[in-house]
Amino acid sequence: MLYSIKLKLTIWVLFIFSIIFTTLGFFLHYELSEIVIGSIDTHLHNEVQFIAGFLRVEDENIEVELSGVEVGEYAIPLSGHYYQIVLSDGRIIAKSPSLSIAGASLPVIKSDSVPSYQTIMGPEKKPLRLMAQSFKLSTDTVTIQAAESLENSYRILRSFGNIMLIIFPSIFILTGIGIFVITGWSLRAINTFSRKIEQITEMNLNERIEDKGMDRELQSLTVSFNTMMRRLEKSFSKQSRFLSDASHELKTPTSVIKSYCDVTLGRERTPAEYQETIRIIEKMANEMSDIINRILEVSRLEDKTFSLKFSNVDLMDIMKNVMRMLEPFALSRGIKINLSCQEININGDRERLIEVFTNILDNAIKYNKSNGRVDIEAGSREGWAVISVADTGIGISEAERERIFDRFYRVDASRSVVAGSGLGLSIVRAIVNAHDGRVEVESKIGEGSRFQVFLPLLPVRTKA
């Protein structure tokens, strides 16, 4: 349950809320009591000054003319409003009728000329606010004490506390419910996501989540999800195309083998006929083995765990090697190969790079005109080793130029010219990419093509 976003958010907000409101409650209560008690203190101070105005010294005696203050609350017994006047020896010379009628008095509190305030228990056993201040007269020092019940003030503070105790928990509960409901409501789109995800199989990878009307925060999640689905769909269809293309490529030699076997075994044959059939079967088997090897090569290259064996290699040496291997094939077609190369050292996988340039040069011969030419140049440019292989062949249209790097892709015109698997250039691109390089093609239909391989001159990072 605690793993719910809804609950965590609610608990967190309520925690913050309770800290803020408890602090605020205490602060307001403190401020209110300061105001209430402060106003009582002001009132008591005024009363004491007022009573002090009635003090007289006559014939060495202190007299008080109190008829002016023996009215109102002071006249009602134990009303909670009291005063008394005390001499320095502790004798009470006057007190309010509210005290004297009830035969009560206030505790005598020593004071000086600065007013002092305190809260005491009154004669009616209820809290009183008491102020005492001394006045120096010619014969003696007189202390005037005035007191007022704190009952009303305490009632106000209690009411305030009760209101707080009702309002705050109510707000607390309502906020909690509100946040719980709102977060649940906002997160409902996530349920839509999980339902959609549950329904996804390889059959409906084209499904997308509608982002219209979705909360802005969830829109980016929807976009990412849809992008991921698009990628999955693409890679899935690439995989199944790969499978069907591979089967298709293997189908032709298999059918040839089968039909030759059927025809040859249909009746008794001469040894020469059997030999001819076996030669054709051998040719087809070689073709199939070549296709299978290339398929395995492509899969290996796409496997994230494949690794290159990096070392310092000389591209001129590699190109000479490749040329030597393919020269007999070129001669058989009357094609001349020109190599113009300087020594270029790079960090690369020698065997894989031989594979790259064998594929490119093989294509330059295969798709060339009889008695054509292939020019190989190797040099360096702006931090790159650049190897260019230009032929005088059939050329590649602009529309096909990117697609020739796709697995099994073959330009229709080439199919009639020469046999092939359509895997060579996809292997080339995978290997060059793994070297952090790139392949570029320029071509003109009927005039020829130029393949340029760019490999970094500086040491590339070693692949694990």
- Name the residues that contact ligand ADP, by CB under 6 A: 359, 363-364, 367, 391, 393-394, 396, 404, 409-411, 414, 420-425, 449
Choose between 424 and 437: whose C-beta lies nearer to ligand ADP: 424
**Backbone dihedral region of 213: left (phi > 0), alpha (psi from -120 to 50 degrees) or beta?**
left
Tokens encoding 304: 């994230």
Please state the closest distance from residue 249 (CB atom) to ligand ADP, in A. Answer: 10
Question: Rounded to whole angstroms, how far apart are CA atoms 359 and 366?
Answer: 10
Please state the closest distance from residue 459 (CB atom) to ligand ADP, in A. Answer: 29
Contacts of 46 (CB under 8 A, 6+ apart): none
Please state the closest distance from residue 191 (CB atom) to ligand ADP, in A. Answer: 47
Contact 18, 10 (CB under 8 A): no
Please state the closest distance from residue 221 (CB atom) to ligand ADP, in A. Answer: 40
Q: What share of the chain is helix, strand, coil (3-state, %, to 5)?
A: 55, 20, 25
Choose between 181 and 445: whose C-beta lies nearer to ligand ADP: 445
Question: Rounded to whole angstroms, how far apart are CA atoms 23 and 181?
Answer: 27
Strand (E) positions, 176-276? none
Question: Rounded to whole angstroms, how far apart are CA atoms 296 and 288?
Answer: 12
Choose between 47 and 391: whose C-beta lies nearer to ligand ADP: 391
Please state the closest distance from residue 272 (CB atom) to ligand ADP, in A. Answer: 32
Please state the closest distance from residue 214 (CB atom) to ligand ADP, in A. Answer: 44
Please state the closest distance from residue 248 (CB atom) to ligand ADP, in A. Answer: 13
**Backbone dihedral region of 78: left (phi > 0), alpha (psi from -120 to 50 degrees) or beta?**
left
Strands of 438-444's sheet in order across: 336-341, 373-381, 384-391, 448-456, 438-444
Looking up tokens 């190797």 gives 378
Q: What angle do CA 164, 167, 169 make, to 5 degrees?
A: 95
> Integer distance in angstroms from the first to the last C-alpha of the chain?
43
Q: Give the residue from 395, 398, 423 showing the smallest Cα distance to 409.
A: 423
Choose between 130 and 356: whose C-beta lies nearer to ligand ADP: 356
Looking up tokens 């050292």 gives 345
Q: What one-character-per-residue DSSP string does 127-178 give?
A: EEEEEEEEEE-SS-EEEEEEEEE-HHHHHHHHHHHHHHHHHHHHHHHHHHHH
Choose between 170 and 244: whose C-beta lies nearer to ligand ADP: 244
Choose between 143 and 421: whose C-beta lies nearer to ligand ADP: 421
Q: Are strands 373-381 and 336-341 parallel, antiparallel or unpaired?
A: parallel
Q: Give the residue from 102, 43, 96 showing the smallest Cα distance to 67.
A: 96
Amino acid letter for position 133? Q
Please state the closest distance from residue 203 (CB atom) to ligand ADP, in A. Answer: 31
Please state the closest distance from residue 293 (CB atom) to ligand ADP, in A. Answer: 12
Please state the closest distance from residue 427 (CB atom) to ligand ADP, in A. Answer: 8
Tokens encoding 123: 């004669």
Choose between 129 and 366: whose C-beta lies nearer to ligand ADP: 366
Choose between 145 and 414: whose C-beta lies nearer to ligand ADP: 414
Please state the closest distance from residue 403 (CB atom) to ligand ADP, in A. Answer: 8
Choose between 96 and 449: whose C-beta lies nearer to ligand ADP: 449
Alpha carbon separation from 91 to 95, 276, 442 (Å, rounded): 11, 148, 122
Choose between 387 and 425: whose C-beta lies nearer to ligand ADP: 425
Please state the closest distance from residue 396 (CB atom) to ligand ADP, in A. Answer: 5
Choose between 86 and 423: whose C-beta lies nearer to ligand ADP: 423
- For the chain, the residue count is 464
Choose between 196 and 403: whose C-beta lies nearer to ligand ADP: 403
